[in-house]
A and B are shown apart, each in its own frame.
Chain A
Amino acid sequence: MERIPILKMGHFLLVTIQVDMYDRLALTLQDDLTNQILKTGARGVLIDISSLEVVDSFIGRMLGNMANMSRLLDAETVVVGMKPTVAITLVELGVSLKGVRTALNVEKGMELLQESLRSKAGEKGNERQEG
């Protein structure tokens, strides 16, 4: 059975979606991802969709779900590599991808994650000081 590979990069996980998503594949991916976050203690997830020429509302919803699941496990998600045509289609479809951060490419995505982790650490530090 096909599995979408999840790679570990430092404190982050990288998921590259290169094939058409169908129901079972998506569910397997969500399963694998949440398990991996737990196992590796990852604080961030990068989902690379730069190979996808077509993104429909199903994939849009799936991305949103994965972001929410990851957040519950204390990992931020950033979707990277969206093609212009895909962005336009999603906007036209009214798929808002709320709560999903986006970046142009993996590099920028990592910067974003690192920055957000830093600011989170800063906040936590403040809390401890105040408390």
Chain B
Amino acid sequence: MGKNSKSRLPEVLKKFEKELLADWVKEQLNAITVRRDLIKEPELRQQSADFFALLREATQSGNLNDITAPEWASMREMLGGISRSRAVQGFTSSETAIFVLSLKQPLFMRLRDEIGRDPETLTDEFWTANTLLDKLGLSTMEAYQKSREEIIARQKIELLELSTPVVKLWDGILALPLIGTLDSSRTQIVMESLLQRIVETGSSVAVIDITGVPAVDTLVAQHLLKTVAAARLMGADCIISGIRPQIAQTIVHLGVTLGDVVTKATLADAFIVALQRLGLAVKKNT
């Protein structure tokens, strides 16, 4: 409707900058009185001033529609920054969005004051301002969600790393107690930690205990064999222990071959084999 080039929004923003900013901050403070614990007033004022300045700058371009365009880049960046920091501070996504949306009330009032006598133009300007602020508000929600997802993804990685410890049983013997399912991403981490420890400790035997692995299917077996092969390339032999009767049956029924890997029912048995490999034996003091 040609409203972009003729919109009076930039002009209104400029003319009433001080008043709009003041009213807006007041709105926010009224809305977030319960969250004064999370953000201090000076910081809020600063964020609002920054937002307003960027809003004025971007609307000068005349593009009030497409916020993915380059003239809105700094605004998007700033909003992204605020969303992320607020997510970390503990705000909910709506609380973060209200930061933007609470500008509507003061802005609409000013628009009405300025353009009140021309209802058609006023409606157009309301609509333009409304959709613009909605888009900006939604973009903060998206940024917020993205940063939460990043946190979850990072925690997932940390969890994976925590749950694959490699422990030293003896000089030259490592144990790898696996707990939980073994998928391809986990296998990658298991392989890396095991090989890293083999290098660090100069071990030549690794006992992989699968007592804590609930189910072993062809895929899991493949992952185990890959780990064994990789360790072998580094000069360490692997023994798989913790084969439960159930697992033994499943493996045979599925026709899975574990190759020439030595398997033992318990970690204790595997430990004895490992000691033998190193030419050691346990003697009882009589």
Task: Flag A74-110 by CB within 8 Å of B: 1 or 0 each.
Answer: 0000001011101110111000110000111100110
Known: A104-B198, A105-B202, A108-B202. A88 touches B230 (CB 8 A): yes
Could you tell me if A84 and B192 are in contact, using CB atoms closer than 8 angstroms? yes
**B201 CB to nearest chain A CB (Å):** 10
Q: Given A87-B195, A90-B233, 9 more contacts at CB 8 Å? A: A82-B233, A84-B195, A84-B230, A86-B233, A88-B191, A91-B229, A102-B233, A102-B235, A104-B234
Q: Contact at A91–B233, with CB atoms within 8 Å?
A: yes
Residues in A with CB closer than 8 Å to B103 are none
Q: How far is the CA of A32 from the CA of B226 in the complex (A)?
A: 34
Q: A84-B199, A104-B198, A104-B199 are in contact. Are A91 and B236 (CB under 8 A)?
A: no
Give Cα A80–Cα B235 distance, bound, in whole angstroms.
Answer: 8
Q: Which residues of B contact A92 (CB under 8 A)?
A: 226
Asked if A97 and B204 make an inter-chain contact with CB atoms under 8 angstroms apart, the answer reads no
Min CB gap A30→B, angstroms: 21
A window 103-130: CB within 8 A of B: 103-105, 108-109, 112
Q: Which residue of A lies closest to B188 (CB)?
A: A88
With A87-B195, A88-B192, A88-B195 as contacts: A104 and B226 at CB distance below 8 Å: no
**A-B contacts, 20 listed (Cβ < 8 Å):** A82-B234, A82-B235, A83-B199, A84-B234, A87-B230, A87-B233, A88-B188, A88-B195, A90-B233, A91-B226, A91-B229, A97-B233, A102-B234, A102-B235, A104-B198, A104-B234, A104-B236, A105-B202, A108-B202, A109-B235
B215-249 residues with Cβ-Cβ distance < 8 A to A are 226, 229-236
Please determine whether A96 and B229 come into contact, CB atoms closer than 8 angstroms.
yes
Shortest distance in angstroms between A99's beta carbon and chain B's nearest beta carbon? 12
How many angstroms between the C-alpha atoms of A92 and B191 in the bound complex?
11
Within the complex, which residue of A86, A96, A108 is in contact with B235, where a contact is CB–CB below 8 Å? A108
Residues of A close to B226: CB separation below 8 A: 91-92
With a CB–CB cut-off of 8 A, which chain A residues contact B198?
84, 104
Distance of A88 Cα from B236 Cα, bound (Å): 14
Q: Which residues of B contact A109 (CB under 8 A)?
A: 235
Interface size class of B (residues with CB under 8 A): 10 to 19
B89 within 8 A of A: no
Chain B residues near A80 (CB, 8 Å)?
235
Q: Give the Cβ gap from B256 to chain A, nearest Cβ, in Å.
A: 18
- In the complex, which residues of chain B have a beta carbon less than 8 angstroms from the beta carbon of A88? 188, 191-192, 195, 230
**Residues on the A chain within 8 Å of B234, using CB:** 82, 84, 87, 102, 104
Q: Is B196 in the interface zone, CB < 8 Å from A? A: yes
A31 to B120 Cα, complex, angstroms: 90
* B194 (CB) vs chain A CBs: closest residue: A84
* Highest count of chain B CB atoms <10 Å: which of A83, A104, A112: A104
A residues in contact with B235, CB < 8 Å:
80, 82, 102-104, 108-109, 112
Contacts of A97 in B (CB 8 A): 233
A42 smallest CB distance to B (angstroms): 21
Min CB gap B36→A, angstroms? 51
CA distance A105 to B199 in the complex (A): 9
**Inter-subunit contact A108/B204 (CB<8 Å):** yes
* CA of A104 to CA of B201, assembled, Å: 10
In the complex, residue of chain B having the shortest beta-carbon distance to the beta carbon of A95: B233
Complex CA distance for A84 and B235, rounded to whole angstroms: 11
Distance to closest chain B CB from A61 (angstroms): 15
What 1/0 mask marks residues of chain B from 178 to 194 whose CB sits below 8 Å from any chain A CB? 00000000001001100
Q: Are A104 and B202 in contact (CB under 8 A)?
A: yes
Residues of A within 8 A of B204 (CB): 104, 108
Task: Write the nearest CB–CB distance from B176 to chain A, whole angstroms.
Answer: 14
A117 to B199, CA, bound (A): 25
Query: Smallest distance from the beta carbon of A93 to chain B beta carbons, Å?
Result: 11
Chain A CB within 10 Å, residue with most, of B188, B191, B230, B232: B230
Cα A86 to Cα B236 with chains together (Å): 15
